[in-house]
Each structure stands twice: as C-alpha cells, then as structure tokens.
C-alpha cells in the first residue's frame, strides 16, 4: 500500500523532461494498440443488436463484444495509473512492456487455439 509520504515529491513534484516524454510515448503507443480492439468489440456489439435474428440468444454475442471493449478500457486505465505513478524512465518502460504483453495475451491465446 502506498503512503502519502511515498508519493510526495516523486509523482507530483519535480520530474525531468525525459520522464514526461517516456510517459507520453508509452501511453500513446498502448492507446493506439488497444484502439483497434475496442472498435472491434463495438462492432461485435452492433452486429449482435442489428442481426439478432441470426442468433438463438443475441445477448451472449453482445456480451462477448461488451467484455472485449470493457477489458481493453480497463487495461488502458490501469496502464495510465501505473505509468503515471512510475518514478523513473526505466520503470515507465518496464511497466509499459508488461502491460502491452498482458493486452496482447488474448490475441496470442486465440491464435493458438484457432489453428487446432
């Protein structure tokens, strides 16, 4: 658990320019990476609502798109919180790499089972 004393002067205090640039670039790259998945989830929801006659229960198809969209938004929110509270440039980059791997885990999991 973080204490107020741990954050004083580190997050909101003086930061160097490279730390700000690293935070901005990492947040921007992950946002661009997740943007396509968010749009794909929204397209799934729209298709389920517009073509409900193709499904026995269209709410399951809608829920799949909703969960994809919600998980991507949640990953992006966690990414912003973790990166903005990182203190050094190395921490920013390492946290970004970890969250980028987590964000791509579902795609690699799908591709592994799609081949079977």
d(CA 58, CA 60): 5
d(CA 12, CA 22): 16
Q: For the segment 57-74, what is each residue's pLDDT rounded down to a tens digit?
A: 889 989 988 998 998 899
Packing angle, helices 58-84 and 17-50, rounded to 10: 170
Report residue 108's pLDDT band, with 50, 70 and 90 as the boundaries.
confident
Q: For the segment 17-56, what is each residue's pLDDT rounded down to a tens digit?
A: 888 899 999 989 988 988 988 999 999 999 999 998 998 9
Annotated domain spans of the chain: 20-111
The share of the chain scoring above pLDDT 90, in percent, equals 24
């Amino acid at each position: 658990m973080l204490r107020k004393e741990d954050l004083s002067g580190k997050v909101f205090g003086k930061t160097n320019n490279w730390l700000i640039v690293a935070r901005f670039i990492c947040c921007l790259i992950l946002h661009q990476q997740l943007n396509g998945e968010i749009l794909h989830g929204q397209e799934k929801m729209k298709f389920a609502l517009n073509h409900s006659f193709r499904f026995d229960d269209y709410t399951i198809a809608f829920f799949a798109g909703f969960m994809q969209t919600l998980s991507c938004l949640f990953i992006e929110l966690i990414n912003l919180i973790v990166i903005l509270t990182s203190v050094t440039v190395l921490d920013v980059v390492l946290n970004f790499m970890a969250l980028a791997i987590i964000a791509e885990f579902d795609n690699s999991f799908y591709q592994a089972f799609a081949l079977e």
